[in-house]
Structure 1
Amino acid sequence: MKARLGAVLFGIGFFAVVLAAGVAFYVAPSAARLPYDLKLCTPEVTEDCLKPSVAEAKNARFLNTEGGTTPVVEIATGTLQSTTEIKPLVDTTNNEIKNGAIDDNTVIWNAFGTVIWTEKDKVVSAYEARLALDRQTAGAIKWPGQELDDVAKGLDTTAEVETVGFSGQLYKFPFNTEQKTYQYFDRDLKRTFPIEFKGIESIQGLETYKFEQAIPETALDFDEDRIKSLLGAFAGPDATSGQVVYSNTRTIWVEPVGGTFIKVQEQQNKKLVPSTGQPTELLNGVFVYTDQTVANSVESASATKAQVLLISRYVPIGLSTLGVILLIVGLLLVTSARTASPRHAAGSRTEEITGQPASTSAS
């Protein structure tokens, strides 16, 4: 009976160890990947969906323009609200995979950004991007269909769609983010800059990795007509040329298991630097995630972290531990049963010859 029970436990233990390995090597990697079918949050869809990220810059200085019979070009002061939304393009992703343009470890997203002057409820700038992302690293990868429609109100008169070589991180960090320097894409300059790990901080009880990117003053690629328009509004008659210079200090707090942004802060500055005369600030503001966006991010990141850890760590460890215990118990039961069998056989033979049990002594 012991041998049979031991054999059963040993078999179950072996299966548990094999199952733990399967979960660790095959199931867990799929959990730590961007899904194809993320949905935007709506009044009808409130779970497992993407909520917009909102950042505010209070007391910001920025360029304000108004058309009409008496055009206005001025530097205004107020609160700017920047909203970023993500829309996964499921059909486009599936079609591109079938066509061989991308592999099944890639998703295609639409990203939308809008900056509003809240006191006037007026759009200051907007953009739309279409890009391909690696499902595990969340980094942008090469894809012929990537585009950027960057409309800067007051600096451009028409929508301008261009092909952009997106690369590096944009809207998310990799699953299992490391304490190292990554490359982060800057939309204004259309290229990546290093973003360095600066330490560990807790936000609403959630451990985050803090990263910082310092972009020095760099001239933006503005065409001649846009520069002339700005010079005419803010520079003296002697200024025959100039450039718009941009700088930014970007700080991102990331939940490392899922790579989710918990909080983002950007200290943005843009100024017109004419060939003669003083520079004019076109933008000076510190954009920070609102409290509601931080709370939404903590909630979403906590759920993702729990799911990834459950599948990648807790289930494999639990199954392997249980399996090892059952293997040992089963082996002990089988060994003890085999050890006891010869004694029982010898005792039966003695009783058969003498007519007395083997354990009974003559008195």
Structure 2
Amino acid sequence: MRRTASPLSLALLGAGVFLLVLAPMLAWYVEPRAKRTPVDVDVTTVFTGPGSYFDTAEIKTVKKDLTITRQVRGDVADSESSGRAVWDVSTSVDTEDTLPAADTHDSLQWTLERWVTDRRTNEPVHCCGEKPTFDGEAYLKFPFDVQKRSYRWWDNTLGSTVRLRFAGVRKIQGYEGYRFTGAVEPAQTGTRLVPGRLVGLPKRSQVLAEEWYANHGIELVVDRRTGRIVNAAIGPRKTLRAPGGKRDRVVLLDSRRLEFTPATQRAQVALASSDSDRLELVGETLPMGGGGAGAVLAAVGAVLVVRGREARGTTPVITL
């Protein structure tokens, strides 16, 4: 009797082999290429908290709630032409009297920056009208696959990197992320021409006062898989000192803690969860599931092929 493989056995064997080939391709080829910093972003984050600032109308430091609004927009055209992630970043510091943040003419502080990074490594790239020139491993986001180690975070006010240490895990809006903390010791960051009496030199009409900056504490909670920051808290302090002075004379801005609002936290968690789920699907779920299903289908198909089926031939001739 002649045996031949059935169409079903061949189909099962072919499907199994296909899945066995596809599974490692998803894990080793597709998933690494999916880990790319997006370029078509338009995200607004808001920090709030109690603080104080120098009121130029009253010529003194007053206490008020502060709001920091940061909008990040991707420049898709420049990103596609350069192959980098090109983001334009607008940041304003306001009180309740100067909100909404979209109207920046009376903000306490307003900056417009352009950040350019490698889409795979998140390292800074110096091109495409980057402003300012920055360094480090993290700023608006962390690299993909965040590790339990210290990272160099760029502090734009300081003009240098700050070491943030891994400090365990923390849940934000029910979503778990890696927590990193650090601080900035007082450092001179520039100079400003002010009336001498502001910094304790009443006999001098104008002096080139020293601008000093510190940060009471930095706390970032980061999604492990995507590097997206799901919560941020900072404690900026900006002051003026007399030339060569040893102590602060004027507090320009100070807050022990400015933190993402609950609405910003929820939005960041939603983005991180969605992106993380897609990476997990491509990098883990589909390769593992596809590999397992492929092995089963290939095994069943191979058994059926080996067993085959009896061909329906002609009726044998019986001789006497």
Kept in 1: contact 2:35–2:144 (CA 8 A): yes
Kept in 2: contact 1:263–1:294 (CA 8 A): yes
| Offset from partner CA, 1:335-358 (integer Å, 9 cap, x none) | 3449x99xxxxxx99x969x8xxx
| Offset from partner CA, 1:299-340 (integer Å, 9 cap, x none) | 2211111111112211111111111111111222233449x9
Q: Taking structure 1 as reference, are residues 298 and 199 closer, same or farther at Cα in structure 2, changes over 3 Å only?
A: same
What residue ranges of structure 2 are gaps of 5+ in the alignment? 100-105
Identity over aligned pairs, percent: 24
Compute the displacement of 1:183 (Å).
Answer: 1.2
Compute the displacement of 1:167 (Å).
Answer: 4.0
Alignment correspondent of 2:283: 312
Q: Taking structure 1 as reference, are residues 75 and 221 closer, same or farther at Cα in structure 2, changes over 3 Å only?
A: same
Matches within 5 A, 1:42-61: 50=43, 52-58=44-50, 60-61=51-52
Q: 18-27 or 270-279, which moves further after superposition?
A: 270-279
Alignment correspondent of 1:65: 56
Alignment correspondent of 1:111: 89
What residue ranges of structure 1 are gaps of 5+ in the alignment? 41-49, 67-71, 98-103, 149-163, 342-347, 356-363
Q: The residue matched to 2:222 in structure 1 has which SS? A: strand
Tell me the number of residue pairs that the alignment of Structure 1 and Structure 2 aligns: 304
Matches within 5 A, 1:241-252: 243-248=210-215, 249-252=217-220
Q: The residue matched to 1:76 in structure 2 has which SS? A: strand
TM-score normalised by L of structure 1: 0.75
Kept in 1: contact 2:78–2:128 (CA 8 A): no
Q: Taking structure 1 as reference, are residues 279 and 335 closer, same or farther at Cα in structure 2, changes over 3 Å only?
A: same
Alignment correspondent of 2:102: none
Which whole-Å CA distance do the structure 2 matches of 1:319 and 1:277 have between them? 66
Q: 2:194 aligns with which of 225, 229, 236?
A: 229
Compute the displacement of 1:108 (Å).
Answer: 0.9
Q: The residue matched to 2:268 in structure 1 has which SS? A: helix
Paired AA for residue 93 in structure 1? S
TM-score normalised by L of structure 2: 0.85
| Offset from partner CA, 1:181-227 (integer Å, 9 cap, x none) | 111101012221221111011222211100112222211122xxx1x
Compute the displacement of 1:8 (Å).
Answer: 2.8
Kept in 1: contact 2:239–2:252 (CA 8 A): yes
Paired AA for residue 53 in structure 1? T
Q: Taking structure 1 as reference, are residues 234 and 304 closer, same or farther at Cα in structure 2, changes over 3 Å only?
A: same
Paired AA for residue 261 in structure 2? T
Kept in 1: contact 2:52–2:61 (CA 8 A): yes
Which whole-Å CA distance do the structure 1 matches of 2:271 and 2:29 have between them? 24
Q: What CA RMSD, in Å, does the superposition of the two structures yield over aligned residues?
A: 2.9
